[in-house]
């Protein structure tokens, strides 16, 4: 199956991106459009997944956008790559756990390219480097169309995490590629596209 690739160079507002994703999900359901892989970055945005709790908001002044993805409260900001997708599992394996494993594998392979050793955790969804979280995953499935995706901290401002308890973790448990390897990272979008396509097409 052909997956359409979108790579946005400008910051994409969170609500606009989710509106586009939901529209694509509906189009895929009726066979009108292709599946989607979309690589982008958001302006600073705090979002709350379906398992979030009010006590996880430390700075009561921040605006929280409620979302129907899995997971808790998290942060998106410039320098963090978002990989969204809309996949038709009706034409693939109807196995959400398998999808999450493919996402985890993709992130681990991507980080390995930049000599960052990472791993998944059965108890805590996401990808970890030396006990710190570098990537978050949140998936929603409707009519066996899977959407939302994952975020990877590349070179974003980690101080903004202090306003929340991100994914139920202490702020000190969050890291980024820049924090792990203080150097310039090349071909980010190109490598994300290649690795995610390879793994998602195996579902």
State both tokens at 135: 């990537």
Give, for 64, the enclosing helix (H) or strand (E).
Answer: strand 64-66
Yes or no: say if 196 and 7 are a contact pair by the CB < 8 Å rule.
no
Question: Does the active-site annotation cover 167?
Answer: yes
Q: Count Cα atoms within 13 angstroms, Cβ side, for 64.
A: 22
Burial readout 129-165 (b: 16 or more C-beta within 10 A, e: otherwise): beebbbbbbbbbbeeebbbbbbbbbbbbebebbebbb
Burial readout 78-113 (b: 16 or more C-beta within 10 A, e: otherwise): eebbbbbbbbbbeebeeeeeebbebbbbbbbbbbee
- Active-site position among 75, 82, 129, 167: 167
Helix, strand, coil shares, percent, the chain, to 5:
35, 30, 35
Catalytic residues: 167
């Amino acid at each position: 199956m052909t997956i359409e690739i979108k790579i946005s160079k400008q910051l994409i507002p969170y609500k606009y991106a989710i509106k586009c994703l939901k529209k694509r999900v509906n189009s895929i359901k009726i066979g009108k459009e292709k599946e989607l892989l979309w690589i982008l970055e958001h302006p600073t945005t705090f979002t709350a997944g379906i398992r979030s709790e009010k006590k996880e908001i430390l700075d009561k002044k921040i605006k929280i956008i409620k979302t129907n993805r899995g997971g808790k409260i998290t942060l998106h900001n410039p320098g963090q790559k978002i990989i969204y997708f809309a996949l038709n599992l009706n034409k693939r394996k109807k196995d959400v756990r398998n999808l999450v494993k493919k996402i985890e594998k993709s992130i681990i392979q991507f980080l390995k390219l930049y000599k960052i050793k990472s791993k998944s955790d059965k108890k805590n969804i996401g990808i970890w480097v030396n006990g710190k979280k570098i990537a978050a995953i949140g998936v929603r499935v409707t009519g066996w169309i899977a959407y939302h995706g994952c975020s990877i901290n590349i070179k974003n401002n980690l101080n903004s995490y202090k306003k929340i308890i991100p994914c139920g973790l202490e702020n000190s448990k969050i890291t980024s590629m820049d924090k792990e390897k203080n150097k310039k990272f090349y071909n980010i979008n190109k490598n994300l596209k290649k690795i995610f396509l390879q793994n998602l097409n195996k579902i």
